A and B are shown apart, each in its own frame.
Chain A
Amino acid sequence: QKEVEQNSGPLSVPEGAIASLNCTYSDRGSQSFFWYRQYSGKSPELIMFIYSNGDKEDGRFTAQLNKASQYVSLLIRDSQPSDSATYLCAVSMNTGFQKLVFGTGTRLLVSP
Chain B
Amino acid sequence: DGGITQSPKYLFRKEGQNVTLSCEQNLNHDAMYWYRQDPGQGLRLIYYSQIVNDFQKGDIAEGYSVSREKKESFPLTVTSAQKNPTAFYLCASSIPRGPQADTIYFGEGSWLTVV
Contacts and interface: CB of A to CB of B under 8 A. Distances in A.
A99 B58 CA distance: 9
B54 to A, nearest CB: 11
Which residue, B48, B104, B107, has most C-beta atoms of chain A within 10 A? Answer: B104
A92 B109 contact: no
Contacts, number: 58
Interface stretch (A13-21, A76-84, A101-109): A101-109
Nearest to A100: B104
A98 B109 CA distance: 22
By size class, the interface of chain B is 20 to 34
B40 interface: yes
Interface residues of A, number: 23
The secondary-structure label for the interface of chain B is strand
B21 to A, nearest CB: 13
A44 B35 CA distance: 11
Given A51-B100, A97-B56, A43 B42 contact: no
Interface of A: 4, 8, 31-32, 34, 42-46, 49, 51, 88, 90, 92, 97-100, 102-105
Interface of B: 33, 35, 40-45, 48, 50, 56, 58, 90, 100-109
